[in-house]
Amino acid sequence: MESTYKNHEQIEQSYNSASWIFRAIAIMAIINAVLAYLWVSSYFPIGLGFTQIIAAIQIVFQDVPDLDTTRLALGVVLYLLIVGIFALLSLYVKKQIKWAFLAGSIFYLLDTVIVIFLRDYLALAFHGYFLYRLWLDWQGIRKPTPAHTP
């Protein structure tokens, strides 16, 4: 019985850790979006490659006056969509829904590919760390460490 309790505790801890990671990603993406709309040149490297692409597209079309409102509205919608996905994934992972964990990890891995193409090495370091943590959490969910009982 002790072994089952320890395994349940470890699984819960892994889900909570992964949920925190997805929540942190969403929060940093929100901060980056606000910085982008304020035209601040700095950003949090924990943010997403997806949002960096949106910000770059926003900058490319900033001098087209006919698209100003459309560009801003579309940017906000896309930012909210991406942040919303990670926020929802965080909630579902917290409820120990395994597919949400996998979907979030794959989505973040795809974002890492974008970061590689953007050559944002600081963001890549954070992505690598978070992917490593997600991998460890996945191992904790898939194969809980057996508890040693005397």
Q: How does pLDDT run across 107-121, given as a tens digit for each residue?
A: 999 999 999 998 988
Q: What is the pLDDT of residue 124?
A: 92
Its pTM stands at 0.81
Q: Which is higher by pLDDT, 100 or 37? A: 100
Distance CA 150, CA 142 (A): 25
Q: How does pLDDT run across 77-130, given as a tens digit for each residue?
A: 998 999 999 999 999 999 999 999 999 999 999 999 999 998 988 889 999 999
Mean pLDDT throughout 9-18?
91
How high is the mean pLDDT of the chain? 84
Distance CA 150, CA 116 (A): 49
3-state secondary structure of 40: coil
Distance CA 19, CA 95 (A): 9
Q: Which is higher by pLDDT, 39 or 137? A: 137
Distance CA 81, CA 102 (A): 19
Residue 39 has φ and ψ, to the nearest 5°, of 60, 35
Query: What band does 45 get if pLDDT is binned at 50, 70 and 90?
Result: low
